[in-house]
Structure 1
Amino acid sequence: MTGPDQPPDALFDPASVAVVGASAQPGKWGYWLAKGALTGRGRRQVHLVNRRGGSLDGVPFRAGLAGLACEHVVVAVPPAQVRPVVTEGLAAGARCFTVITSGGEPAEERALAREVTARGARLLGPNCMGLVDTSSELRLSWGEFPAGAVGLVSQSGNLALEIGRLLGRAGQGFSRFVSLGNQRDIDAAEALETLVGHAPTRVLAAYVEDFRDGRRLAGVLAAAHAAGKPVLLLTVGRSPAAAGAAASHTGALVSSYDTVAAVCRDSGALLLESAGELVDTALCLLATRGWPTDGAAPRVAVVGDSGGQGALAADAFAVRAVPVPELSADVARRLAEALPPGAGCRNPVDLAGAGEADLGSYARVTQTLLDSGEADVVALTGYFGDYASADPQRTAHECAVAGALADAAARTGRPLLVHTMARDTPALAVLRERGTPVYERIEQAAAALSGAARLAAAAPADPPSLPRPAPPAADGGYETVRALLATRGLAFPRAEFVTDAEEAVAVARRVGFPVVLKAMGLAHKTEAGGVALALADADAVRAALARMRASTGAARYAVEAMAAPAHAHELIVGVRHDPAFGPVALAGIGGLTAELHPDTGLALAPLTPARARALLLGLRHAPLLTGWRGAPAVDLEAAATALCVIADVAAAHTEFTELEVNPLLVHPGGALALDAHAVVRGV
């Protein structure tokens, strides 16, 4: 835990709880907190505190905390009273505080947290919605939280209520819920960490806006995956932000949302877009047993009582990279024996009216597919669950078939997903009670299975350790950054730095024509007219420098050898320091259109050679690097090494908020940096 070494029992299963600000008036927070606390009084002591007196459900309100033994204090009083209540609770020996009320200004909240943690206690909030642990009968929040196997950590109370309602309708619920509030002590990483070892929790879910210590959170995500606890994450920030003020191309291309997505990819978590998608995926994961561990996507067999729905279902899975393989002749023959003539038996399987004539056909076909070994998942799509709506006399039979379907999935250890046009019928209730996911739309089932498959195939790693900070650089200009990178082995063209035209001509003669002239002190040199290429003689150098001085006002210039290796491609490589995650490396296809048609990959820096290589091979245009249409491949090892050098230097120089090499020219003979600069913090 991030604060004092305190076991989580006092937070999630205390021996005693006090609700300060308890109320007997429904609709008030104090009423719901007190009512919820009283549901666990068979397991723990519950004290209700309100200085005005009163009672709730026969439990009298106490005037204060003095003289009470209370491990966990819930604070729901006006902001001005929060600090005195906490001080009184500490004196009474409280070990945890859940502060529902806002703690005042940020400085006041930080002071509150210091007071709590200095006494060896812990603080959840302030400004949170409380917490619930259904396994320990602890309900200290407003709203309904059905019991189940999903552990949720959230910075949004209403979103938690929405997720709870969706889970409840699907026959699932929460093992534990933690509302983070302003995270003055217990943060998202710590709250999620408590769920990793929590046996009733089988799926972890989180909504996080402020990641605080992002690297620690990444480590918790990787640990959860290693423990067999999949993590589903929601965050904000997909809307594009204006990049006009960015100090580098990297600054324009690296968003906080993209950083979170990269962290999830590398830590084995799944970044999703909505509460509904989170619940859909959680249901699929909870139904998952014994999938392939070789990283292959699960094979799905589709069963439909309509040819059109079956075909659309097959497409929905296939376009989400979930294979729908053709079934063998032997399996097709066994299916044909149970179906009418002309039924489709090769995947998707079309019942061709068999289900209407005999509901048992659904179970027999599904059992055959689950037993076949040719499908890891069976998806049933269409009308099942709705027959009793039209003919109530079929209710018992349809429920029995639903039970047989669930039995087959449990016996084989292979999940069954059901998509149906029915809603809340007795047969669907049987499926949900037995842990079979039921979806209203086929795309929900397909997206959930695709997400679960990506999690199963993930190979997470702990976030990289940060190097010891290097002595600060003098500035972030090309001359300085080039020297830092060259010292670490990154190759640059031969160059010298000058202040006037005659110096430039003399250097050009030493370097050898043609040369490149660059104006120093500019981030976006090309846009500002600060770069001149292929200068073939002294007059061209003089003319170019005169134009640059007039357009940019630069006082210093670089004269470089012109580099144009055959079969070269431009990359952009950069690192941006994220407030939560630290240095984040970017590698992508470079050139003038890098921001117009971004093709990039991100990862926490520093990089390993394997991670750098994976970033390059994960680009959409990676075939350009590996030999497109007969062209020779670039030296990927040299390119990966260059990425590592750039990431290492940026990670060590904490004074740089951004560092960029653009372009990095990669070719069959190696990698060559043609430009570099950094943005210095505070400048």
Structure 2
Amino acid sequence: MNATSRNCIAELGGLFDPQSVAIVGASSTPGKWGFEYARQLLGSASSRDIYLVNQRGGIIHGNEAYTSVQLLPARPELVVICVPAAQVQSAVDEALEAGARYIVCVTAGFKEAGEEGRKLENQMRDRIRAAGARLVGPNCVGLYDAAAKLACTAFWDLPPGDIGIISQSGGVIVDLGMRLPRERLGISRAVSVGNQADLNVGEFIGSFAVDPNTRVITAYVEEFRDGRRLFEAIEYARDLGKEVILLAPRAGEAVGRSVASHTGSMISNEDVLASTCADLDVVRVRGIGDLLLALRGLGAPARSRGRRVAVVADGGGSATLGTDAAVAEGLEVPGFSVELIRKLKNISPNSGVGNPVDLVGALDLGVFQPIIQEIASSGEVDAILMNGAFNNVAGASMEGERAVATNIQNVCSQSGVALSVATMATGEPAMTALAADRVPVFDYPLEAARCLELGRKRMPVRKLIATVDSCAFRGKTDYLASRNALGEAGVTFSKSLHAKDIDEAAEAAGTIGYPVVLKALGSLHKSDSGAVVLGIRDETALRTTVADLNNRLRPTGFSVEEMVMEGDAMELLIGGIRDPAFGPTVVVAAGGTKTEIWRDRVVALAPVEEDTALRMLSSLRIAPLFAGFRGSSPVDLSAAAKAAAALSRFISGHENVVEAEINPLIVGPTRCVAVDARIVTTS
């Protein structure tokens, strides 16, 4: 995130703590937006001036209403517009003339209403930006700041806390406002972004990141208009020590575009979103339920430093179900060391203690305390998942049960080990004591395990690389030109010569040396149209092949290429697209003519360094074959990573390149060469 972006972020502080607010469209009619906004703002007006504006004037909520913004006694820092769509433009003009710094446009009927509405929205945004002001919305339901006592909303009644909410849906904020108190959680700051004509989710993430009262930032995103900037903002927030949760439903169908190459048909918004979240280790959830699990995990007394989990249960079934739940969430249930098993056996000789721990028939929570203490202090796990009844402590009073629970929680917290509990006895004193200390307590082990995974401490696999020095690609994009351009970018290609006719083809083949590959130029997918002929071994066969291709395809020319014969070689695809939402991307995949069938691919935001490209290749399902399989030799994977990184730099460095692809890239034990290439530009 650059310095200009940081300055814009700092300036947004006035949006959430304005000295004065004007409500254009304030109403005395209950149920109207103007009535509710006026009621909420006046109710939190102790530290700022609130001005009501209504064309008819009068008294609203016991306060005088002005007939125009221009008649206000002082400049409004923030203007809220909740008038019919036909009146919005004039209301915006009045607000800007009065010197407003921020405008919140509640009114709908813009981009979401069609092309004419989109034009009006863009015009409004341009006028506001030209005046040096910023716009929230349109089609939004306001904002809230607990510390500033700002309730610039219509219907929200939000509990104060340390969770920031940025949402494309006002209803999601309402939903969380009702649910969070049940989880002993509250909201520091919230904003409904609406159509994001000006201020967007990424900018608000940056603003929330510098808010001292916000610990966790939650963003509900339906549309990734500038996905790269959003993830840059997430990186910025995390660098400042803030947790970020992305609530994003599964993206739609593949990005609409002309399918000009295999890569274009493979990558979708969901591919890029999922891979970027994995790369940056961002908490991404798809529903409110998982969001609440993540918030509980992030707010627990101790958070898991990794994925190693000990399952401690009061019976075989509970142990098995707890283990299955942990594994299903991608957590590890490693076997304990001999030394730890010995210590646990000394405590409970008749129990299974190899992980999972099955304390047979142990309904007494006190029995679990020394077991958990040994496990937590061992350094062998990052978290403990307890699954069972846990409904009494032998001979203990209610306070005694609570004390045992507190001791268990303290032991885990002091060792930096996360604790999550699944029990049928959530209402028992010990369990309510744990819950009161913010230890996640659930009815079922799947919830307990998912809470551990969502709440663990995250560690990005890599940092985003800024796309710099981008310029337009001015070269040609035919097959031969594409080979040359990507070759100059750092990709090694097989030997090739261009031939215009049968005699030049024969001369080229003699220069390269048989066997050769002959490609008829001018076809989009050469192999699909029969324009590629492999393994031509002599001049007679070459001349016959050229004649056949001339007869069938009427090519513009030929590419005569060496026949790459690399033992134990594999075919890969490396490519990328300029995604409308995320910008330049790179993909590595199982290649060849069946690449769409295998659908074995890994995507990342471009550019990538060679180490990231190597990790991507190693993440493919076919990766075990790279090291050699049943007697085959290992392939030069580092050379393939170098080629992928070079292609990623090419597409990210040329703003008009929308697709680039090499398929196949032949990777063997001693050589890594590209034998096909394609580049697509917008102009």
**CA gap 1:95/1:144 in 2 versus in 1, 3 angstroms:** same
The sequence identity of aligned pairs, in percent, is: 36
What SS does the corresponding residue of 1:659 show, helix, strand or coil?
A: strand
Q: How does 1:442-481 map to 2 (within 5 A)?
A: 442-453=445-456, 456-474=458-476, 476-481=477-482
Give runs of aligned pairs for residues 92-131 of structure 1, distance below 5 A: 92-102=98-108, 104=110, 105-131=117-143
With over 3 angstroms needed to count, the CA separation of the structure-2 counterparts of 1:625 and 1:369, relative to structure 1, is closer
- Do 2:518 and 2:558's aligned partners in 1 also have CA atoms closer than 8 Å? yes
Shift in Å, 1:363: 5.6
For residue 323 of structure 2, what is the aligned residue in structure 1?
314
Aligned counterparts of 1:681 and 1:31: Cα–Cα separation in 2? 50
Matched-pair contact (CA < 8 Å) for 2:586–2:603:
yes
* Cα distance in 2, alignment partners of residues 243 and 84 from structure 1: 37
Equivalence map 1:152-301=2 (5 Å): 152-241=165-254, 245-287=258-300, 289=302, 292=305, 297-301=306-310
Alpha-carbon contact 2:467-2:652 (below 8 Å) kept:
no
Counterpart secondary structure, 2:575: strand
Q: Does 1:501 align with 2:510?
A: no
Does structure 2 conserve the Cα–Cα contact (< 8 Å) formed by 1:21 and 1:49? yes
Q: 1:498 to 1:428 in 2, by over 3 A?
A: same
Distance verdict in 2 for CA 1:604–1:507, change over 3 Å: same
- By how many angstroms is 1:443 displaced? 1.8
Q: Is the 8 A contact 2:467 2:653 kept in 1?
A: no
Q: Distance in 1 between matches of 2:429 and 2:32?
A: 37
Whichever residue aligns with residue 18 of structure 1, its letter is A
1:192-591 to 2 correspondences below 5 Å: 192-241=205-254, 245-287=258-300, 289=302, 292=305, 297-327=306-336, 342-355=350-363, 358=364, 360-361=366-367, 366=372, 369-384=375-390, 405-421=408-424, 430-453=433-456, 456-474=458-476, 476-591=477-592
Q: Are the counterparts in 1 of residues 506 and 542 from structure 2 also a CA contact under 8 Å?
A: yes
**CA distance in structure 1 between the aligned counterparts of 2:318 and 2:55, rounded to whole angstroms:** 63
Once structures 1 and 2 are overlaid, which stretch shifts more, 458-467 or 509-518?
458-467
Worse overlay, 177-186 or 204-213: 204-213
**Alpha carbons 1:222, 1:269 under 8 Å: kept:** no
Distance 2:196 2:674 in 1: 43
Q: Gaps (5+ residues) in structure 1?
A: none
Query: Could you tell me how far 1:595 is from its partner in structure 2?
Result: 0.9
Q: Give 2:167's aligned amino acid.
A: S
Is the 1:4–1:117 Cα contact (8 Å) retained in structure 2?
no
Amino acid aligned to 1:215: R
Do the aligned residues in 2 keep the contact of 1:574 with 1:660 (CA within 8 Å)?
Answer: yes
Q: 5+ residue gaps in structure 2?
A: 111-116
Distance 1:680 1:133 in 2: 46
- Cα-to-partner distance string for 1:368-409 (whole Å, 9 max, x where unaligned): 54455444322222335x789xxxx98766666555555555
- One-letter amino acid matched to 1:314: T
Contact 1:497 1:556 survives alignment (8 Å):
yes
- Report Cα offsets for 1:25-51 as digits up to 9, x if no partner: 554333433333234223333333333
2:48 to 29, 37, 44: 44
Residue of structure 2 in register with 1:674 after alignment? 675
What is the rounded CA distance, in whole Å, between the counterparts of 1:111 and 1:103 in structure 2? Answer: 14
Q: CA deviation at 1:271?
A: 2.8
Is the Cα–Cα contact under 8 Å of residues 528 and 551 in structure 1 kept in the other structure? Answer: no
How far apart, CA to CA, are the structure 2 residues paired with 1:248 and 1:99?
42
Q: Take 1:515 and 1:243, find their aligned partners in 2: how far apart are those partners?
A: 38
Residue 616 of structure 2 corresponds to 615
SS in 2 for 1:457: coil
Instruction: Output the CA distance in 2 between the equivalents of 1:413 and 1:38.
Output: 46
Q: Is the 8 A contact 1:291 1:414 kept in 2?
A: yes
Q: For 2:30 and 2:392, how far apart are their aligned partners in 1?
A: 43
CA offsets per residue over residues 350-371 of structure 1, 9 Å max, x none? 454443xx45556665555445
Check the 8 A contact 1:529/1:551 in 2, yes or no. no
CA distance in 2, matches of 1:424, 1:196: 37
1:67 to 49, 72, 91: 72
SS in 2 for 1:534: strand
| RMSD over equivalenced CA pairs, Å | 3.2
Per-residue Cα deviation, 1:226-281 (whole angstroms, up to 9, x for no partner): 22223222334545539995111111121122112233233342333323222212
Query: Residue deviations 1:181-209, cap 9 Å, x none?
Result: 12122111110011222222222222223
Q: Is the 8 A contact 2:573 2:591 kept in 1?
A: yes
8 Å CA contact 1:534, 1:562 repeated in 2 = yes
Provide closer, same or farther for how the CA distance between residues 144 and 396 of structure 1 changes in structure 2, counting only shifts above 3 A. farther
Specify the alignment match of 1:30 in structure 2.
34
**Other structure's SS at 1:628 match:** coil
**Which residue identity does 2:515 align to in structure 1?**
P
DSSP 3-state at the match of 2:184: coil
SS at match of 1:643: helix
How many angstroms does 1:291 deviate by?
5.1
Change (3 A) 1:64 1:417: farther
Contact 2:473–2:657, Cα closer than 8 Å, also in 1: no
Task: Give the direction of change, closer, same or farther, for the CA distance of 1:44–1:379 in structure 2 (3 Å limit).
Answer: farther
Indicate how the Cα distance of structure 1 residues 499 and 381 shifts in structure 2: closer, same or farther if over 3 A, else same: same
Secondary structure of 1:36 counterpart: helix
Q: CA deviation at 1:644?
A: 2.5
| Superposed displacement of residue 530, structure 1 | 1.4
Measured in 1, the distance between the counterparts of 2:173 and 2:34 equals 19
Match of 2:114 in 1: none
What SS does the corresponding residue of 2:265 show, helix, strand or coil?
helix
CA 1:60–1:415 in structure 2 vs 1: closer, same or farther (change >3 Å)?
A: farther
- Change over 3 Å in CA distance of 1:359–1:571 after alignment to 2: closer
Q: One-letter code of the match for 2:102? A: C
Q: In structure 2, do the counterparts of structure 1 residues 491 and 353 end up closer, same or farther at CA, with 3 Å as the change threshold?
A: closer
Amino acid at match of 1:303: V
How far apart are 1:660 and its partner, in Å?
A: 0.7
Structure 1 pair 283–56 and aligned structure 2 pair: CA distance change class (3 A): farther
Q: Match for 1:347: what amino acid? A: N
Alpha-carbon displacement from aligned partner over 1:155-186 (angstroms, at most 9, x marks no partner)? 22223333444433322232222222121221
Distance 1:383 1:57 in 2: 55
Question: How far has the Cα of 1:550 moved from its partner?
Answer: 4.3
State the alpha-carbon separation in 2 of the partners of residues 100 and 208 from structure 1. 19
The answer on whether the counterparts of 2:166 and 2:219 sit within 8 Å (CA) in structure 1 is yes
Q: 1:10 aligns with which of 8, 14, 18?
A: 14
Going from structure 1 to structure 2, the CA distance change for 1:50 and 1:397 (only over 3 Å counts) comes to: farther
Greater CA deviation, 99-108 or 77-86?
99-108
What is the CA–CA distance in structure 1 between the aligned matches of 2:326 and 2:86, rounded to whole Å? 55
Q: 3-state SS of the aligned residue for 1:596?
A: helix
For the Cα contact (< 8 Å) 2:309–2:382, is it kept in 1?
Answer: yes
Contact 2:531 2:549 in 1 (8 A): yes
Letter in 1 for 2:331: V
